[in-house]
Amino acid sequence: VALAIDRVGVKGLKKPIRVRDRRQGESPAVAVIDLSVDLPARFKGTHMSRFVEALEEFTGALDHKSFRALLASLRDRLQAKRSHARLAFTYFMPETSPEAGAQSLAGYDCFLEGDLEGAPEGEKLTLTVGADVPVMTVCPCSLAICDGRGAHSQRAVVRIRAKAEGFVWIEELVAVAQAASSSPVYSLLKRADEKKVVETAFAKPAFVEDVVRAAARALLDHKLVNWFRVEVESLESIHPHNAFAVIERDKRAGG
Amino acid sequence: VALAIDRVGVKGLKKPIRVRDRRQGESPAVAVIDLSVDLPARFKGTHMSRFVEALEEFTGALDHKSFRALLASLRDRLQAKRSHARLAFTYFMPETSPEAGAQSLAGYDCFLEGDLEGAPEGEKLTLTVGADVPVMTVCPCSLAICDGRGAHSQRAVVRIRAKAEGFVWIEELVAVAQAASSSPVYSLLKRADEKKVVETAFAKPAFVEDVVRAAARALLDHKLVNWFRVEVESLESIHPHNAFAVIERDKRAGG
Amino acid sequence: VALAIDRVGVKGLKKPIRVRDRRQGESPAVAVIDLSVDLPARFKGTHMSRFVEALEEFTGALDHKSFRALLASLRDRLQAKRSHARLAFTYFMPETSPEAGAQSLAGYDCFLEGDLEGAPEGEKLTLTVGADVPVMTVCPCSLAICDGRGAHSQRAVVRIRAKAEGFVWIEELVAVAQAASSSPVYSLLKRADEKKVVETAFAKPAFVEDVVRAAARALLDHKLVNWFRVEVESLESIHPHNAFAVIERDKRAGG
Amino acid sequence: VALAIDRVGVKGLKKPIRVRDRRQGESPAVAVIDLSVDLPARFKGTHMSRFVEALEEFTGALDHKSFRALLASLRDRLQAKRSHARLAFTYFMPETSPEAGAQSLAGYDCFLEGDLEGAPEGEKLTLTVGADVPVMTVCPCSLAICDGRGAHSQRAVVRIRAKAEGFVWIEELVAVAQAASSSPVYSLLKRADEKKVVETAFAKPAFVEDVVRAAARALLDHKLVNWFRVEVESLESIHPHNAFAVIERDKRAGG
């Protein structure tokens, strides 16, 4: 007797989409997309072309509602019990430099992942939002041992994945990551801004341990988030390898 | 009060190692290595240099015993409750072409991952072995609709991850993946071999669904494996995107 | 005395743009951008923030004229003799399946690269357009030795880079690559389409050598193209490695 | 009439090799290998399996002599005029921390590329050695504007490619890159070392422009090197993007 398959589908589809943003607008994006469903033991195979058809019909802006509709469409077209979709894209947000007030756009690698389970009348949707946020860290240890006359700093990436009751904005995850670090990074910095960024960062040195804890604390305090995983990976400027730290918590489980 | 950190450590260390193989020998390899431990809430930070020191002292061939010793060394040096290590490397196996008997070496992307939990007297080791095995698939659907006069084929990758009581050889995972596919792939094929490979593959067409089921069945039947995940990803030759299928089972949970 | 620097600038900027397409419209895209200028020996360093400012002011649709203006802006802001820009993006084109006429969108990895040299009155612009086009190849050798009853096929990528007098559309490069192969690949294929694609491909088997020659021939015959490089890389379905072939010609040099 | 093909062959072969090092020893490595030859217009195709056979017979340690023999073997087996090979591998060198004298191994991404042209009696070999060397840079501008109380630092990569009369050791390229930067990076640093590295780096701030010029100057002064390209790419800790600078010189051309 054949085995049931957890997920079967397509990977690496590309599509230009629009993403609903927090400012009530829509941002153009190019998504890399994985789509799949479960396949019960009694079925020989799935219908791969139907995944692509479902995606072709997805024409609105990406938000909570349209994403659920895409998942429902997959489930129904493929006669499945569970459907899964992952859309990865670069999400752009306006950015203002800290001193000169120079305007630019910052792009973050993000994704939206959804699992829809059960028949329409009792379906359960699980949404995961992910954002990779580059930040700056100044090493507290080297600042201490060099008596404040120097310290190594580096770019680090804060990778947040969150599940929530309701919807969490990417803007919120970016803010959590930036607040947890020594300083945000910026695309455009004038001379006065650079001074400000370095002074800010040196006034707030942080190990990966500190950043991951501060970000996790903010996510624990977030009313809608009920599960999260934060990984901070620091491109150590004194080493050829990276340092990293991870905290994952499931609030529903009392974890 | 500070949060406990699930994992803190280093990523992307590189080291030349030797891997114990099934033929009682040792193969040279270059490993990319991640090492981490848990960090209780009461500690401000970990000692990053100790991870590198533990790795420097790892000089024997990689096998079950030496890997456990590395994990124990991490746990003890860092005064942690849990330690984690992941070594990714290309593993080479001799290969014989199916008709001409030509000899060559096949290299597979593999990894060994270990979690050691608890104090020395009651420690629990969880080992995961992973291997990515390229294979060939011939599409049953196109073979049928073209009346046997043609069918699209492609390279696919079978990614197996397995946890076991005792030790599972990479050679076993490679064999499972190859047996589940339309045909193995080979580095070196003479003209007579190429005919044989194509005939073999066309006599055994297989969707990603078929390959993932056959591999999962073999892993269910394997006496030592108690958890596995198989993903088959096919680089469809008629599409710009890939097809994939996944089965994951935990035998301990009756899953 | 200090050395002159060939190129200094920024890499990996991201920006949402619009690309002028052949149908007189505009396609949204997300570009990954490198910008640089030369730096004469007498200057200590360049002004990195000015690259970002030049890019912020680039707001129109990407075409020959706007791209030249971006390069001129870089040259002038940085007081340089040469400026260079590379914008890499996924470019989407409508696609129709060969039998059922099903509509979908195909995305190609493309780039536009420009070098602007000399003072405004005598400036010389060199434009390079690049497109990576996935196609299908059927192996002529295995078709022959299996007496037409089977043959291995696979996805291959045709990477075309072209310099031209005037402007070459990405649509033209895609057409060249597809015509040179055994068959185009399609995102959306219904059952009748799949039969058609396989039959078409098996009726036109092609080695990487055949594909690269056919594409090169078409580019030699193209009136505007004066330099090109074509690489065909085939994800051989019977091997774990790839086959490839390259032809580069400079028509200006009589090459 | 068919076109001549510049290069045809195989890509992505993997093989465990030994690399001759400067200390008269041999280091184990795993190489990713591309092999190709030219194909005159009169030949329909090449013989792909012969590339793999030539590689199977390559069993000695990689050095100038064995690499030339591999290229000659390719040329002769394929009846070609030109042969080309590229072996990419991680090369390990012993490393001593600057203060505590702690020993570890540093691995660098390197490659050896060779072009052999002409018949055996008059053949011409062109060898290119490449090494990617991670280093540390401290920003001179931010050090100045913060009055020495702070400055952003980051990891940077110095990518050197060199052609030479005779043989240039990878060890030499690594030394050039490290000497040109604010400080080398180290796998293993004790507390006293970290202080030393940071102090050294802050005493020698360097823009990418400074690093690329210093490395280029050393390569201009190297007696054997007759062509080089240096690219420095800095993972700016205050930006999400990178800064880079390139100098390429052909000494033979008086460039």
Q: What is the pLDDT of residues D12-41, one digit of tens each?
A: 999 999 999 888 789 899 999 999 999 999
Residue closest to C7 by CA, chosen among C96, C57, C61, C75: C75
- The pLDDT of residue D32: 98
D203 burial type by CB count under 10 A (0-12 exposed, 13-18 middle, 19+ buried): exposed
pLDDT at C199 > cutoff 80? yes
Q: How confident is the model at residue D169 (pLDDT cuts 50, 70, 90)?
A: very high
Helix pair angle (B170-180, B208-221), 10° resolution = 140
- The pLDDT of residue A227: 98
B144 touches chain C (CB under 8 A): no
A238 touches chain D (CB under 8 A): yes
- The pLDDT of residue D166: 79
D27 touches chain B (CB under 8 A): yes
What part of B 145-204 touches A (C-beta under 8 Å)?
Answer: none
- The pLDDT of residue A60: 86
Tokens 């009846």, residue located = D79
Strand pairing report for C124-138 and C153-164: antiparallel
DSSP string, D4-64: PEEEEEEEEEEEEEEEE-TTS-EEEEEEEEEEEEEE-TT-S---HHHHHHHHHT--S-BSH
Q: How confident is the model at residue D1 (pLDDT cuts 50, 70, 90)?
A: confident
ipTM topping 0.90: yes
- Percent of chain C at pLDDT > 70 equals 99
CB neighbours of residue C125 within 10 Å: 15
- Smallest Cβ–Cβ distance between A198 and the set D150, D198, D199 belongs to D150
| Global confidence as pTM | 0.97
CA distance between the termini of chain A: 39
How big is the CA angle at D72 (ends D69 and D77), to the nearest 5 degrees?
120
CB neighbours of residue A121 within 10 Å: 5
State the smallest CA–CA distance between residue D95 and chain B in angstroms: 12
Q: Between chains, do B49 and D190 touch, taking CB under 8 Å as contact?
A: yes
D205 touches chain C (CB under 8 A): no
Q: Which chains touch B (3 or more CB pairs under 8 A)?
A: A, C, D
**Which residues on neighbouring strands pair with residue D134, listed in sequence order?**
D157
What part of D 40-59 touches B (C-beta under 8 Å)?
Answer: 49, 52-53, 56
H helices present in chain B, as ranges: 48-56, 64-77, 140-145, 170-180, 191-202, 208-221
Instruction: Answer with the residue of higher pLDDT: C148 or C109.
Output: C109
Residue D242: closest CA among chain A residues belongs to which residue?
A187
B192 burial type by CB count under 10 A (0-12 exposed, 13-18 middle, 19+ buried): middle
- Smallest Cβ–Cβ distance between A136 and the set D197, D198, D238 belongs to D238
Residue of D13, D49, D77 best to disrupt the B interface, most CBs of B under 10 A:
D49
Please check whether residue B88 is in contact with residue B31, taking contact to mean a CB–CB distance below 8 angstroms. yes
Chain C residues whose beta carbon lies within 8 Å of the beta carbon of residue D208: 8
- The pLDDT of residue D253: 76
For residue C200, report the phi and psi dihedrals to the nearest 5 degrees: -60, -45
pLDDT at D255 > cutoff 60? no
- The pLDDT of residue D254: 57
Q: How confident is the model at residue C254 (pLDDT cuts 50, 70, 90)?
A: low
Q: What is the pLDDT of residues B130-152, one digit of tens each?
A: 999 999 999 999 999 988 789 99
pLDDT at B61 > cutoff 60? yes
Chain D residues whose beta carbon lies within 8 Å of the beta carbon of residue A136: 152, 237-238
Chain B residues whose beta carbon lies within 8 Å of the beta carbon of residue A246: 5-8, 36
The single-letter code of the amino acid at D208 is V
B38 touches chain A (CB under 8 A): no
CB neighbours of residue B246 within 10 Å: 21
Tokens standing for residue A15: 């599509």
State the smallest CA–CA distance between residue D245 and chain C in angstroms: 4
Residue of A154, A241, A248 best to disrupt the B interface, most CBs of B under 10 A:
A241
Q: Between chains, do A107 and C28 touch, taking CB under 8 Å as contact?
A: no
Stretch among A239-243, B231-235, C149-153, C211-215 having the lowest mean pLDDT? C149-153
